[in-house]
Structure 1
Amino acid sequence: MRVEPRNAPSRLLTVGVPVLSAIVALGLAAIPLAFAGAGIAEAYREMFRGVFGSVFAFSEMLTRATPLIFTGLAAALAFRAKLWNIGAEGQLYLGAMAAVAVGAGLTDAPGIVLIPLIILLGAAAGSAGMMLPTLLKSRFGADEVVTTLLLNFVILIFLQMMLEGPLKDPMGLGWPQSPPIPDQGMLPALMDRMRVHSGLLIALFAAAVAQFMLMRSVWGFRLRAVGENPAAARHAGIGVNRSLFGVAIISGGLAGLAGVSEVAGLKGYLTADLSPGFGYTGIVVAMLAGLSPAGVVISSLFIASVFVGADSMSRAMGVSSYLADLVVSVSLLCVLIGGFFARYRIIRVRERRAGA
């Protein structure tokens, strides 16, 4: 047996691997469900009902998918250039901190000024969080996986310091939370009495622009060239470091927008538990999407459906909601295994007989 690369993976493999991975993950999740004593068919029926059973349930899924689209795009674009951004979680919190700092500081500004300012400064704060690891990588060859991952913890500690100091709400009864963003600074809701907000439209617009730029622009060609072979790209006259810094700004900015969407679209104020791990889940989203911006939207909706549906199933059947984490983790493993077989094939080699 030997392993050799395929000449060019077919479109069927490229599209089919993520879909098959999701199906296999749901199938494997039936094993712990059976051990928990739950009826598998009834459990999945409750999961489906928890997402599509009502307008409210569906809107909750869209609300959960919004930050995942942002962080999934942040990971997908950076990974395309082989810039391994594991720091979207920290960049999300930087964007959220900038949003509440601006929103709580400019309470008299009209919404037409305040909302764009919150969005721009939130994205800029997220970009700033990705610039230092990229600088260390380009100048000193530092591993950005390590630097971005460790920077997450630095940012979280900084956040806790800010929530106990300059950003602490004096009216918060001692709780470590920021002052609220005024109503005119909040992203408009898309449905009455629902939590889904216009951050979803911004996320979908960002995905559409990213897809177009990646596949139809010179910038996208350069980015893909840097990701495929930096030495060849440099020899062809492409500024590798310039491309890395460009995608770092965009990737960090998208992660920062995830924080803006959560604090200015949903919660209204900042706490240290704003994100349940959206930055890390965004990596799974990007991998499940095959690093495609359009695919990020689909995989975000799938993972958000798993989380929201698992919560509903947990309440209805007394099954642990951690099943959602299991499905997401197994999905990633299936994608990695499927991606291997999409790029390589195993060939059986016949052994030659002695003396032949």
Structure 2
Amino acid sequence: MSLGGKWPLRLTVGLLAGAGGLYALYKLTTLNRDREEGESRSGGDCESKKQNLLHRVSCLQVAGDSEGTVDTQQGGVLAKHPDGLEQQHLQVVLGLLQGTSDASTRELALVTVGNSAAFTINQDLIRNLGGLNVIANCLLDEVMSIKVKAMNALNNLSMNVANQEKLKIWIPQILEILEASMLNSELQVAGFRVLTNLSVTNNYHHMMTNSIPHFLKLLVEGTENVKVQVLKVLVNLSANPDLTNDLLCAQAPSSFLLLFDSCVNKEVLLRMLMFVANLRENLNLLQVSSQHEYEVESLHSLLFGNPTQFSHELATLMSHQDNEVKQQVARIITKRA
């Protein structure tokens, strides 16, 4: 739906501001529909629908939980209420993203569409309305907060397999943003959440291989939150045997081995061990059919070339108090060539 000239931009911005923003979207669409159909509605009926619409959207998380996905309990609630925003409301929101350069309006529109994308039915509807590229184009915006909110919306939308196929063309842009963004920034975290969803299957792994050295660097330089988000992507990549050499050939910082210390946060340590265990298992498969030369500074040389230091770290971790950690260490040790 195009806003055209019926509602001036300043009026739209005013209506969208604050807690009444969603009611403004609802009111704009219902007023237009009333005019077209020549129908009149009672104030009580409009108020009831307004409250229903506010309830549908205001209680949702923009980008799921801290893991970057909607948790099980929330997913169950959402499954019982799949309607979310209606098509005409989403058309208004997408129209705002295309039709205005006002930063506050664009931010509110992205939050609204991101919230609605927590509903599976709306993930499909937004795609069918051509909204994926409209939202992804906001990644090109110069305003950092708009980029963050666009990433958050894409995070929810990329949990849909059909949407992933459409969004794959934006993977290079997301990777470029991640390399250029400030270390440990909100934008960096949001971008890796999108990549986590896009790397759940092997379909788009080949598009991320050039960024592997940057991912490994962030494991050393980033905060615990960034490390966890990066490792989610790396664990997904390491589960793909076809990417084993790409990962093992990548240059790794020498301080990479410090991440296997028993004092490292469990969430980071466990994923580090899963990452290496996947590589170890896949490397054994590759060695059956081919030999590969690895550079001295490669991840392979650090882990498996002259594994004295790494072996010492593994031996120490065998006495770790957490059973999951010890299980992953055992995977690495028992799969040694």
> Which structure has the higher relative contact order (CA within 8 Å, separation 6+)?
1
> TM-score under structure 1 normalisation?
0.25
Structure of higher CA gyration radius: 2
> TM-score under structure 2 normalisation?
0.26
